[in-house]
Each structure stands twice: as structure tokens, then as C-alpha cells.
A and B are shown apart, each in its own frame.
Chain A
Amino acid sequence: MSGAVKLSARGISKSFPVAGGKFIQAVRDVDFDVHENEFCVLLGPSGCGKSTVLRMIAGLEDPTGGRMELDGHEILRPDRERGMVFQSYTSFDWLTVQKNVEYGMKLNGVPSAERRDRADKFIDLVKLTKFRNAYPKQLSGGMKQRVAIARTLANEPSLLLMDEPFGALDAETRWNMQELMISIMETTGTTVVMVTHDIEEALFLADRIVFISRHPGTVLQDMTTDFKGGERVRRKEDVLTVPGYAEMERDIMKLMREQGSEEEQEA
């Protein structure tokens, strides 16, 4: 399922100024590629700078070193080619579900008839058809994230970015959302880069897992989930019994443990 290179990150570094004129290096020399139609997960311990990498892909932060390209063009600023879904809920309270999903298209001057058709399609895709005219305050957390996903996809980005999108949801809703992502991938064939620290989530969703080390974040391992044999597993429980799953989970847990927790590092 890996086609041409879609996103390439080469030697990406990022340091932030801190008090006393010093700099803290969050990310160092990050290299990886994401291919067409691939689901790529940036995995790593908390505070490893994986979210910073994602924000740089979005163009919301500038790297202090290195170069990032999408479809051969250097990423310089945020634009509609790289739509982002955040962990916190970002549906606009003052717009109905329908208007939320149409929002990006409206910004980009899509005519209203086409806007409505495309919004309908993606609202159906995320199974919110019955809630088309509801306002976000009336929706559950999982539904709000589905609005955010539909809104981003309806805008037809070249790359879908997700920053721990299911982190705030309860366990049952989370795996429902993960299964929804699989069906979205099958329907739309979009390319996704997602940040998570949840190993199970990474193994279920990812075609490629880029493991980022702790502080300063750099690529420790770039793995493909070959044990799935190039197929996407539709149900969360089914992936557990695929041969090779347990081994890969164990390897990643080892990596996680070697990186240690933040408390141990500071002690």
C-alpha cells in the first residue's frame, strides 16, 4: 500500500528559547518519509517532541533546522493541504454540525451547492447523519471529534494530521473511533500522520510507526507493521490474534521502557 513519497522530513530540528537566554532542544535531526495512502503514527514517550514534529508538518511551528516537503513543495506556513485534528475539541460552538463541516470549504470559496453535497458525504461517513443540524454543545466528546475529522476531510487536504485525537475519550469510544478511522482510510484513501503514546492504537491503525526518543526527540526506529500483511484489520479485537502482533507490541514496549519515564530521568 505504499506508493510514492508524500511527505519527507530531513534533518528536522527545533529548539525553543527558555529563560536566561538559553535554548532547549526539543527535536533533533528527525528524518522520515510518509508514502501515499499510508497511515503513519508518530509514537513515543510523553514529552518526546512528537507533537512538535506534527505541528511543524502543519506549518504551525517553524523548524530551526532541516527541511520538510509535501508533494515536493517545501512546507513554510499552515495551509489547507495539511488539515489538523487536535486532541481538544475544536468544533465551532456557534455552527451546526453541517456548517462546521462546510466551514473549511467556505473559507476556500467552494460554491454552496457543492459544499452541501460534500458535507453530506462526510457527515454520513462519520455517521453523524442524524445530528446534521445539532450544535456541538449537544454532542458527546466522540461525536465532536467526528465533526472535526469530517470537517478536515471535506476540505480535501493532501495530508490529514491528528494530534492524539482520541486521547480525551473513554476507552470504548476510543476503539470505536479507531475502527472508524480504518473505514475512513478504506473509503477515502487519504494519507494520515497521527501522534499518539498509545501502543495498541499505533499497532491497530498504523502502516508505519516512527518511534521518537525522549528529549531531544529523534527517530529511534522507523518500522512498518508488516505482520498485518498489507491488510487493514477492521476490528480492534481481531488485530490481537494476528501472528506477529504480540512480538511487535513487546518490542515497542521495550523501546518505551528503555526511554524511561520522565520521573526516572530527572531523579
Chain B
Amino acid sequence: MPSPNQRRRTWRWFDYKKPIPVHWAIALGVACWAIFFAIWEISVPLGWVTPLLVPPPQKVLGALWILLAERDFLSDIGVSIYRVVVSFAAASLVAVPLGIAMGAFRSVEAFFNPFVSAWRYLPAPSFIPILLMWFGTGDMPKLALLFIGVVWFLATLVMDHTRSVRTELIETALTLGGNRKQILWTVVVPAVMPNVVIAMRQMLAVSWTYLVIAEIVASSNGIGAMMMRAKRFLHTDEIIAGILVIGVLGLLFDYLFRFAHRLLFPYLEEHGR
């Protein structure tokens, strides 16, 4: 006969903050998507929506296949990736050193912060008309929009992370004989780098958002431009295929940053190396 204290508590669906079995967690995540696609699939035959406005999933995948195979959609995707990568690299080259300097030195912060903070509150898309007048219709206005959409926020995030580098680390280096320059490069920068990469990962998602805005408003190529062309011909399946591709690309870049984080900072793992 089992003693009373060996009796296992029954697992319940709704227990506050209690972990659930892993296979259940996976199953639940998949179930949510399955329900989503099921509703999408049956909504046309049941007459909830017009097939013209909401094409069923297989039609979207078919459209995506035709776009890729026959309509050179890959080069649109390539253009979009190029715009995000180039503008994001430029924004990072400015924002990361600026943010570190602002976080490390109060004088630099006092000089730049009122300026940077003000720019953060100017919505980047409001610059589109003037950017078009300045730079015409090539890649430049899109790159500029993505740059100003990212650079101020990234600088502020990096500044905050740099500010929270623990004072004891800096003071330890001071009592070991370090000068200001040595401490910047051997304590502040390595201490803040993991958080800089996380901030970059977050801002890259914002960069994708601005890219689509720029391409929808004024562009002849890129994923957003393809979607606007499709709208003109009422090709809703192609529009949704575009949304799908942007989502997948976003996920892919996010994964790349996670991977880079693990690769660059293996010392943050608590177990094993």
C-alpha cells in the first residue's frame, strides 16, 4: 500500500506558474498554429470571407512558388535584404560607439543625449517625402530611412546598457593600475558587448518594419514593392505570400543573432564550455 506522502499530486491545466511537460508545451504551440490554418482553410467554403480577399493557404503557397520560379521574386528578396543589412550596419557603426561613449562618460552624454532623445521622437516615416526629394528614387532614400529609424534607438539602448556596467568592475581595474583608456577597452567594452548584440537583435526587427514601409510607399523593387504591384492586380495571394516571406526572413535574422550571441559569448553559459 503506498504511503500517503508518496502520492503524486495530479497535474492540472491551470496551475499558477507551474512548469508543464515539454511535449505538452510543444503540442500546445503547434495546436495554436493548426487552429489558425484550419480556420483560414474552412473560412472560404463556409462563406465567411470572399476568396478574392482571403485566398486559402494552398493558393498562397502556389503564388509564392510562381513568384519564385517565374517572376524573379528572389531578386526582390535580395534587394530587401541588401537594404536592411547595409543600413543596419551603418546605423550600428554610428550607434554602438556613440552609445558606449554616452554611457561611459557623463560629459559625452550631456552633449549628445538631448539631441539623440529628441530625434527618437520624430517618427522616421515622416521623413519619407523629404528623403525622396533629397535622394530621388534609388536605394538611397530607403537606406536613409532605415538608418534614421534605427540609429537613435540603438544608441540609447547601448547607452543604458553601458551605464549599467557594474561600478565595482571599473573600480577593481582602477585599483589594479588601469588608466581610463585601458579600462574602456578591457572592462567597459567587453562587459557591455553581450547586451549590445541583444539590443542589435531587437532593433533589427524594427529595421524590417521600416523597410516594408519604405518599399510600399515608394519603390520599384523589393518585397514591399512586389506587394504593392500585386495590390494593383488584386493578387491577394501574392500579398500574403510577401507577408509570409518577410516573417520568415525576420525569424531567420533573429535566429542568426541568437546564434552569433552564443558563438561570441560562450563564457556566459553556466555549465560546460
Interface residues, chain A, CB within 8 Å of chain B?
58-60, 78-80, 82-84, 86, 88, 90, 92-95, 103-104, 107-108, 134-138, 148, 151-152, 155, 157, 161
Q: Which residue of B lies closest to A103 (CB)?
A: B176
Assess the A137–B268 pair: CB atoms within 8 A.
yes
**Can you report 19 A-B residue pairs in the complex whose CB atoms are below 8 A from each other?**
A59-B175, A78-B171, A78-B174, A78-B175, A80-B175, A80-B177, A88-B168, A90-B166, A90-B168, A90-B172, A103-B173, A103-B176, A104-B177, A107-B182, A135-B273, A138-B270, A138-B271, A155-B177, A161-B175
CB proximity of B49 to chain A, nearest CB, Å: 53
How far does the alpha carbon of A93 sit from the alpha carbon of B265 in the complex, in Å?
10
4 extra interchain contacts, Cβ-Cβ under 8 A, other than A79-B177, A155-B177?
A83-B176, A90-B168, A92-B190, A137-B267
Taking CB atoms, residues of chain A closer than 8 Å to B166 are: 88, 90
For B176, give its contact among A59, A107, A134 (CB under 8 Å): A107
Assess the B176–A86 pair: CB atoms within 8 A.
no
CB proximity of A108 to chain B, nearest CB, Å: 5
Assess the B267–A107 pair: CB atoms within 8 A.
no
Assess the B175–A92 pair: CB atoms within 8 A.
no
How far does the alpha carbon of A32 sit from the alpha carbon of B186 in the complex, in Å?
36
With A86-B168, A93-B267, A137-B267 as known contacts, state yes or no: A58 contacts B175, CB within 8 Å. yes
Assess the B168–A94 pair: CB atoms within 8 A.
no
How far does the alpha carbon of A80 sit from the alpha carbon of B169 in the complex, in Å?
15
CB proximity of A148 to chain B, nearest CB, Å: 8
Assess the B169–A90 pair: CB atoms within 8 A.
yes
How far does the alpha carbon of A141 sit from the alpha carbon of B169 in the complex, in Å?
16
Chain B contact-residue range equals 20 to 34
Taking CB atoms, residues of chain B closer than 8 Å to A58 are: 171, 175
Q: Which residue of B lies closest to A151 (CB)?
A: B176
Say if the beta carbon of B72 comes within 8 Å of chain A: no
Within 8 A of A (CB), among B34-64: none
How far does the alpha carbon of A86 sit from the alpha carbon of B172 in the complex, in Å?
8
Taking CB atoms, residues of chain B closer than 8 Å to A136 are: 267
Taking CB atoms, residues of chain A closer than 8 Å to B173 are: 103, 107
Contact flags B170-202 to A (C-beta < 8 A → 1, else 0) = 011111111000100011001100000000000
How far does the alpha carbon of A59 sit from the alpha carbon of B56 in the complex, in Å?
72
Taking CB atoms, residues of chain B closer than 8 Å to A108 are: 176-177
How far does the alpha carbon of A103 sit from the alpha carbon of B176 in the complex, in Å?
8
CB proximity of B105 to chain A, nearest CB, Å: 18
With A90-B168, A92-B169 as known contacts, state yes or no: A82 contacts B175, CB within 8 Å. yes
Say if the beta carbon of B70 comes within 8 Å of chain A: no
For A135, give its contact among B172, B182, B267 (CB under 8 Å): B267
Q: Which residue of A lies closest to B270 (CB)?
A: A137
CB proximity of A88 to chain B, nearest CB, Å: 5
Taking CB atoms, residues of chain A closer than 8 Å to B168 are: 86, 88, 90
A-B CB proximity, top 4 nearest: A80-B177, A104-B176, A135-B267, A78-B174
Within 8 A of A (CB), among B132-153: none
Taking CB atoms, residues of chain B closer than 8 Å to A137 are: 267-270
How far does the alpha carbon of A59 sit from the alpha carbon of B177 in the complex, in Å?
11
Assess the A107–B175 pair: CB atoms within 8 A.
no
For B268, give its contact among A90, A93, A134 (CB under 8 Å): A93
Taking CB atoms, residues of chain B closer than 8 Å to A107 are: 173, 176-178, 182, 186
